Amino acid sequence: MGLYHPVTIGSLTLRGNLFLAPVAGYTDRAFRSVCIEQGADFTYTELVSSEALTRNTAKTACAALLARGENEEHYAIQLFGSNPEVMYRAALLLAPYHPDAVDINAGCPVPKVVKTGAGSALMAAPDTLGRIVQGVVRASREVLGEVPVTVKLRSGWTAEELTYRTCARIAADAGAAMVCLHPRTRDQGYAGKSDWSLIADLVSRIDLPVAGSGDLFRPEDAERMLRETGCTAVMFARGAMGNPFIFSATKSFLKNGSWQPPETPERLRIAFTQLIFLAQEKGERTACREMRKQFCAYTKGHLGGPGCPGGAAVRNRLVHAETIEEYREILKPLGLP
């Protein structure tokens, strides 16, 4: 079997093993849609608060986070929380969205998540994580058609407390169908380097598919992670921000041994497509404001390709754009089709 191959997660079979990680503030439905267009095999929603979802006053706000994109054949909803009963009730509420998997966040290092006992705080509370997995698996059996439940882990809370083995084993015993490991501790945040040897170690220790994440910015990174660790799939996070082309480039590299960075007009076309998707969903004014940071990322250049001509000046104009037409006027001279 080559490094690019189908993946089976419980009852779910995917055509390939290149995944888009859940990233708060980025992996909305519009961005997931362009990643699918560029070859992502599986996508995850932004992390959704179980506490918010189970409060009637917040359900409407959560709906936009939960909805499937029109071109998403398969997608997962990621939940975060620290209360097993609340996570169970939140998972029950996912039935109208028909997700293909439910993911449990035990990796987010952001203080506002961790202080609630959720995210990577669960790496220091493996028994609680086990009860959460049990609850979400029970909800899946009751109302979701037994879709697989997966778990996103960090390596531990601190370098002295590497609990990924224990947490993965407990998650597997509780019914998880896959784990993803980002081999940094909570203390590291996104600093330093991720230790891919921990992914290889976990692959050797559990009888579940293991997805790897961390420091995946180029096709060569994905190839090396798959080859060195034996992980089943790779999950792009920061490496995909403003760079959905990482999926098509990586797929080409894994299948053919070569790839080409996108030209500036193609980068701008995809960015503008994302803007239109988002405007249809949230309205032009909101979309234009939310896309400012995305366009800044798109125009910086990725995968060895150059950034847009006069990139700094362009970005200075983009962060003040209020309408789709303003974006068009800024980008047309740079090659927007």
Nearest one of 147, 216, 204 to 177, comparing CA atoms: 147
Q: Is 44 within 8 Å of 78 (Cβ atoms)?
A: yes
DSSP 8-state assignment for residue 225: H
CA separation for the pair 35, 45 (Å, rounded): 12
Tokens representing residue 323 in the block:
């309408």
Letter for the amino acid at 300? K
Tell which residue, 96, 281, 121, 270, has the closest CA to residue 187.
Answer: 121
Q: How far is CA 238 from CA 13, 22, 203, 235, 250, in A?
A: 25, 10, 23, 10, 15
Question: Cα(315)–Cα(329) distance, rounded to whole angstroms?
Answer: 13
d(CA 159, CA 186): 9
Token pair 């490094």 is at which residue? 3
Choose, from 35, 108, 180, 288, the residue flagged as catalytic: 108
- DSSP β-ladder status, 210-213 and 178-185: parallel
CB burial of residue 158 (10 Å; 0-12, 13-18, 19+): middle
Residue 167 among the catalytic residues: no
Amino acid at 179: V
Residues taking part in catalysis: 108
